[in-house]
Chain A
Amino acid sequence: MIETKNLSKSFKDIKAVRDVSFRIPTNSITTIAGADGSGKSTIFKMLMGLIKKDAGSIYLKNEDIGSDFNQITRLTGYMPERFSLYPDLRVEENLNFYADIHQVPRSRREKLKQRLLETTGMIQFKNRRARALSGGMKQKLALSSILLSAPELVLLDEPTTGVDPLSRIEFSNIIKDLKQEGKTIFISTPYLDEAENSDHIIFLKEGKIIKKGPMKTIRKQFPARIFSVLPRGNIYEIMDQMHRHPDLKNSIYIRGKFIKYIQVSSKNHLDLLPAISVKEESPKLEDIFLYYERQSTINPEGLHASTD
């Protein structure tokens, strides 16, 4: 659906996006992940023509769009990090407004609106003005407005920030259904557990792609082993000590009540960790992301970004 080639953008002397090339295949979910400030939002804004690219090309359905963003904006529902709701309109009026401007047929609108209101717990607030909603509710309403009006392509920049865990699951389900309907979804998120069902993944660091490709290939090619350690003693004290250990400092992190250990080389350093139990696990997307992020710090030239 969309392809970028060598997209770059600098703000004064900060290189925000560097030579970024990727594809968002039609009828798929593509997730872009990266630390804060890695360039995710800048990429979204360049795709929508909201900031001017310094170099590179954007292709829509195999055609270079040049500097004409009319076609792309017509096909796209875009939710920026900071989305503007109409504060004086009620919840349902906001949803209707976005559906109206995107000319969503009434039958589809009513069905999906009802589902969005019910599954996200907004139904009891549907007559409340947007300005009187809690922070998380505003975010839910913003995301619902975009999903309701979703044209062919849906661009979501960190849509679930501040949204509670139960509603995050519901939104994931709705996004999967949109894909079933034939839509193309491009999404960024700091919660990698949400991205487990994506078809394609792009990992970004300091404006550069450090890994990209189909999810299946990325999983298959993952070269490290992951262990889950239930620590004996205070987890923060242990992490503090272990971070000073050269063999462990880049290989451990906390997830829930466990210390995760990424075994990169053939030598295993698990014996250094005071443990009640140790279990090997299949890697989660977050493990894979952290592995490539940390590897790119240790050995910036040693990674082959693409598995295409």
Chain B
Amino acid sequence: MPALIEIKDLTKKFGHFTAVNAINFSIRQGEILGFLGPNGAGKTTTIKMINGLLKISSGQVLIKGLDARKNRREIKKITGYMSQKFSLYPLLTSLENIEFFGGISGLSRHNIQKKKEEIQPLIPRPILTQKIVDIPPGMKQKIALFVCLMTDPEIILLDEPTSGVDPEVRRNFWMEIYQLKKSGKTILVSTHNLDEVEYADRIIIIHRGNIILEGEPSELQARQGKDSIEALFKDAIINYDNQLSRTGGAECSD
């Protein structure tokens, strides 16, 4: 599979704090990449640099060979992004959110109307006309994913899409992710629910702004003698921190 996204020495600094520290990785066309890491590791910062929501301090994001900094409009067209906590407008209803996000994504009135019809069989009727603030997380998640896919993007960036939703909804969500992969989409998913990424094509673990582990889940587990991603994750973080305290190094300082 060719690389669709290439990340080269990507760095983000907030004042003296290095949130993302010269990381390198690629996302191949048609794969599901699980993007893992503890809170504050730099996951959201990286995703926001990929889709142009955050200014890159140094390094490069190349999407289909295009520099993300210079081609924001083209990249926006082919990228769908679902943010942490499903950022929808809380005081608008689902249908109003679709109208709003459809409008700012450049969909025609006709297409927005079509999207409003397409969501009808997916969400119970009373929910569609309720304000987002009043509906359960599982439903919010469904609507946020629908909004993210409205422009039929090639690349889908999902930042903790299953956070706070119940186990049954989480599983159904992953069935949908798999369908998206089958239809040829390229997907990056960050999550704290590590059991979900057992069947991702690859995983990356980021910690303190650095990539500390990368590979295919089953291969990594076999190589390191672990029986789950969770065991792999804990081991990687603890080893990295131990090494850091032994060498006295700290890449990320306040």
Of all chain B residues, which has the CB nearest A134?
A: B40
Give the distance in Å from the alpha carbon of A253 to the alpha carbon of B171 in the complex. 8
**A128 in contact with B84 given A134-B40, A136-B39, A240-B175 (CB within 8 Å):** no
Known interface pairs A124-B254, A135-B44, A135-B160; A162-B84 also in contact (CB < 8 Å): yes
Cβ–Cβ contact A255 & B195, under 8 A: yes
CB distance A121 to B39 under 8 Å? yes
Residue B81 at the chain A interface, CB threshold 8 Å: no
Report Cα–Cα, A180/B111, bound state, in Å. Answer: 59
Q: A125-B254, A256-B198 are in contact. Are A167 and B163 (CB under 8 A)?
A: no
- Least CB distance from B51 to A in Å reads 17
CB <8 Å contact, B39 and A293: no
Please determine whether A37 and B136 come into contact, CB atoms closer than 8 angstroms.
yes
CB contact between B166 and one of A190, A236, A255 (< 8 Å): that residue? A190
Determine if A128 and B38 form an interchain contact, defined as CB atoms under 8 angstroms apart. no
Interface size of B by Cβ–Cβ distance < 8 Å?
Answer: 43
Flag if A290 contacts B167 (CB, 8 Å). yes
Using A35-B166, A36-B139, A254-B174 as known contacts, say yes or no to A162 and B198 having CB atoms under 8 A apart. Answer: no
User: Would you mind naming 28 contact pairs between A and B with Cβ atoms under 8 Å apart?
Assistant: A35-B169, A36-B165, A36-B166, A37-B135, A121-B39, A127-B254, A132-B14, A133-B40, A134-B44, A135-B44, A135-B84, A136-B39, A137-B40, A140-B39, A162-B85, A162-B163, A163-B192, A164-B37, A164-B39, A164-B192, A165-B230, A165-B234, A166-B234, A167-B39, A235-B199, A236-B175, A239-B175, A253-B167
Q: Is B164 an interface residue (CB 8 A)?
A: yes
Number of interface residues of A (CB under 8 A): 44
Extra contacts, 7 of them, besides A162-B163, A236-B199, A239-B175 (Cβ < 8 A), are A34-B166, A36-B138, A135-B160, A190-B164, A190-B165, A236-B178, A257-B198
A3: B residues at CB distance < 8 A: none
In the complex with contacts A36-B138, A125-B254, A137-B40, A290-B168 CB distance below 8 A: yes
Q: Once bound together, how far apart are the Cα atoms of A48 and B169, in whole Å?
A: 28
Chain A contacts of B38 at CB under 8 A?
A: 121, 136, 164, 166-167
Tell me which residues across on chain B come within 8 A of A168, comparing CB atoms: 192
By CB atoms of chain A within 10 A, which of B137, B192, B233 has the most?
Answer: B192
CA distance A125 to B234 in the complex (A): 21
B168 touches A293 (CB 8 A): yes
In whole angstroms, what is the CA distance A166 to B136 when docked?
Answer: 27
Q: Mark B3-15, 1 if CB is under 8 A from A, else 0.
A: 0000000000010
- Nearest chain B CB to A105 CB, angstrom units: 29
> Which residues of the other chain, B, contact A34 by a CB distance below 8 angstroms?
166
A162 to B14, CA, bound (A): 22
Write the nearest CB–CB distance from A238 to chain B, whole angstroms. Answer: 11
| Residue in chain B with minimal CB distance to A126 | B254
A158: Cβ under 8 A from any B Cβ: yes
Cβ 8 A contact of B228, one of A136, A190, A256, A290: A256
| Closest chain A CB from B8 CB (angstroms) | 24
A256 / chain B contacts, CB cutoff of 8 Å: 195, 198, 228-229
A192 touches B167 (CB 8 A): yes
